[in-house]
Structure 1
Amino acid sequence: MILKLKYLISNGRYEEALQECQNAGENLDNLITELAYEMLDVSVYSFICYQLMKNETSDLHVLAATVLIGPLSLLEGAYASSLFHVRRAIELDSADVLIKELLLLLNLVPDKVVEDEEAKKVAGEILHHDPENKAALDFIKICARKC
């Protein structure tokens, strides 16, 4: 199945690839992330963008950001592009703490695409709703040393 999906995505046959994913019944996020690590190819990101055009959701934006932060992070502009997806995911689902945690991560990556002030604000929002949130508390500790 993964070989067929790899073939379809590599050849721009996104509708067929999407159907293949739906037929598989597997977790789409895990499947696409696994493919991105295996292929190390921007076509996987393009496939996610295709899905976003058909049905924009915060989950798909998070998937796009995750692929850009992880397997495709060596591509020029990957972190900046992932920031777009994280911000859009937050707009679509402002209550999801995991998405906000991704924004904190983008303050710590080598390109540091999120400014300290924005990250501190988001960490504060997270802690307001979840005072024990490990990611936000860790960010505050790290920021205290470097910001």
Structure 2
Amino acid sequence: MKTRLEKLIISLNFTEAKALVDSLNKVELENYLLDLCYESENIIYYSFVFDMLKSKETSFIHYIASIILSQPLCHIEGAYQAAFYHAKKAVELDEDDIELKEYLLFFNDIPDKLLSNQEAKTLAKEIINLNPKSEVAKQYI
């Protein structure tokens, strides 16, 4: 499956690639795309995810775009800023998703510190109010 997806994306056959990923669950999609990005460090996978966003904007697809840019493609100039944008959009689209909010805290730890200490503390308090057991959020309070 991963090899077929890779061939479709590399050949810019995004329509068939999207049809293929429709049969995957969220974990599979995230794992396949991250694996492909780590293996090749090719920005075409971000282009594919961006194309998916144009078809249907969801918090999960914004998350995937963010994770691709902030991890395997983080060495590209501006990748963290673009990843931060997608992470904020993901939270905006699904304000009840605590895991997305916890992920947003990551942007306080990177060298660029795109999420200020004050913003991280405020967000962490919000997360704690929703989930008092959040170990991630407790680190920022």
State the TM-score, normalized to the length of structure 1: 0.88
Q: Comparing both structures, which one devotes a greater share of its residues to helix? A: 1
The 5 Å alignment of 1:4-15 reads 4-15=4-15
Counterpart of 2:57 in structure 1 is 56
Q: Which moved more, 1:31-40 or 1:79-88?
A: 31-40
Further displaced range: 39-48 or 111-120: 111-120
Counterpart in the other structure of 1:3? 3
The reply on whether 1:104 has 2:105 as its aligned counterpart is yes
Residue of structure 1 in register with 2:94 after alignment:
93
Q: TM-score, normalised by structure 2?
A: 0.91
**Equivalent position of 2:30 in the other structure:** 29
Counterpart Cα distance in 2 of 1:22 and 1:85: 21
CA distance in 2 between counterparts of 1:24 and 1:55 reads: 16
Output the amino acid matched with 1:75.
I
Superposed CA deviations along residues 33-89 of structure 1, whole A, max 9, x for unmatched, are 111111211110110011011011101111111111111111111111011111111
Amino acid at match of 2:22: Q
The answer for unaligned runs of 5 or more in structure 1 is 141-147
RMSD across aligned C-alpha pairs, in angstroms? 1.6
- The answer to whether 1:47 aligns with 2:87 is no
- Name the structure 1 match of 2:67: 66
Aligned residue identity for 2:68 = V
* Letter of the structure 1 residue corresponding to residue 38 of structure 2: Y
> How much has 1:24 moved relative to structure 2?
5.9
Q: Which amino acid aligns with 1:65?
A: S
Segments of 4+ in structure 1 off by > 4 A?
23-26
Match of 1:27, SS?
A: helix
Aligned to 1:131: 132
Instruction: Specify the SS of the correspondent of 2:105.
Output: helix
Shift of 1:129: 1.2
Change in Cα spacing, 1:126 to 1:23, as seen in structure 2 (3 Å) is closer
Structure 2, gaps ≥5 residues long:
none
Superposed CA deviations along residues 20-41 of structure 1, whole A, max 9, x for unmatched, are 2235668212211111111211
1:80 alignment partner AA = Q
